[in-house]
Structure 1
Amino acid sequence: MYPLNLPPLQILHLSSQLLWAGLILLLVGLVAAYGLEKQLNVPTLVLAHSLTLLGPSILKIGYVLRLVAQQRLKDKAYVHAVA
């Protein structure tokens, strides 16, 4: 049912790392693509623009993993409350 066979706290830690990585990639991409566009050559500029696409994608994956971890923690607490 869940995409990972990891404990919920490890998934939560992984999601936090992905959220930070996505945010950093997005910010670096924005600064490089739109702030330094005059100084960069074409391949570097293409890489910077691709970071502005990869950053939000990684942010979304991290957010979904966080939701999965929170749901697993809630389900685990519910099972302990019922038992």
Structure 2
Amino acid sequence: MKINKKEIILKYSINCNNTGKSEVQIALLSHQIDYLKNHFNIHKKDFSSKRGLLKMVSKRRKLLNYLKNINIIRYNNIISKLELRH
């Protein structure tokens, strides 16, 4: 099931032009990370993509830390919406 980028942007933002919001960036990165997880089930030896995955995970972690320091309520909302913590 492929989800369009615009749908993700509209879901986590006020309008489709506001792509710089931390929640939108985290949601887009999470979608790409989930896609790559499924990719690695098929292509186990794709090491160059694994490097890209690690970069994305690191960037998402930095954005989450930033959001946690700025506004804890928005941080908790995005964590619950994306189901990142169990």
TM-score (norm 2): 0.45
Higher relative contact order (Cα pairs below 8 Å, separated by 6+ residues): 1
Question: Which structure features the higher share of helix residues?
Answer: 1
